[in-house]
């Protein structure tokens, strides 16, 4: 088995105090760091994604520019490329990350599969090249980008687990629904202690 960990959008704007901060975001950042340090040989590659939105447009309607955000399809301005809000949270030790992925460059993008590496490689191509057949998922937010990334990973034919102690969501109800959806599609929900 060749295993990858997806670290989804552990960014300042998605943690407490950010433009779209979720409760528990900073704890997820620290928890992922602790988990990787405690399990240095568990993954063949650690792949971290970041929203990396354009500053000068609505990013395909993703940013609410003409009306209030509905927090489903439209959002406040967040994770603008090159700003502190788009940076990884300081509690995430990025020296433990092997590959960095940017997504949402001018368009809405929730799944890591919609991004590209710093070298311009797509995530599906990267996973195929590395022979990845098992993916664990951690990060923010359970009910949006974690959900989309996990579903795409499962849809690509890989064995997928979500580390339930290392995710944080926008809202309790939608996070619970997201976890239920993942479980129904065969994604394993596992403790990060496992």
Known catalytic residues? 9, 103, 145
Which tokens go with 173?
Answer: 């109800």
DSSP letters for 106-168: SS---SGGG-EETTS-BHHHHHHHHT--EEEEEEE-IIIIIHHHHHHHHHTT-EEEEEEEEEE
Q: Are the C-beta atoms of residues 153 and 6 closer than 8 Å to each other?
A: yes
95, burial (CB in 10 Å: exposed 0-12, middle 13-18, buried 19+): exposed
Q: Are the C-beta atoms of residues 179 and 189 closer than 8 Å to each other?
A: yes
Residue 84 DSSP symbol: G
């Amino acid at each position: 088995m060749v295993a990858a960990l997806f670290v989804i959008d552990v960014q300042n704007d998605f943690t407490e105090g950010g433009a779209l901060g979720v409760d528990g975001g900073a704890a997820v950042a620290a928890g992922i760091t602790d988990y990787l340090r405690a399990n240095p040989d568990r993954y063949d590659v650690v792949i971290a994604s970041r929203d990396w939105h354009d500053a000068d447009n609505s990013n395909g309607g993703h940013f609410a520019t003409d009306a209030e955000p509905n927090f489903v399809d439209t959002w406040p301005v967040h994770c603008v490329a090159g700003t502190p809000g788009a940076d990884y949270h300081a509690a995430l030790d990025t020296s433990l990350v092997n590959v960095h992925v940017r997504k949402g460059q001018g368009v809405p993008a929730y799944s890591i599969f919609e991004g590209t590496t710093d070298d311009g490689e797509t995530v599906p191509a990267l996973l195929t090249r590395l022979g990845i057949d098992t993916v664990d998922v951690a990060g923010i937010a359970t009910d949006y980008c974690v959900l989309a990334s996990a579903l795409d990973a499962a849809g690509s034919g890989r064995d997928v687990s979500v580390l339930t102690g290392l995710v944080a969501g926008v809202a309790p109800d939608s996070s619970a629904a997201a976890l239920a959806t993942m479980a129904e599609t065969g994604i394993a929900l596992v403790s990060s202690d496992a």
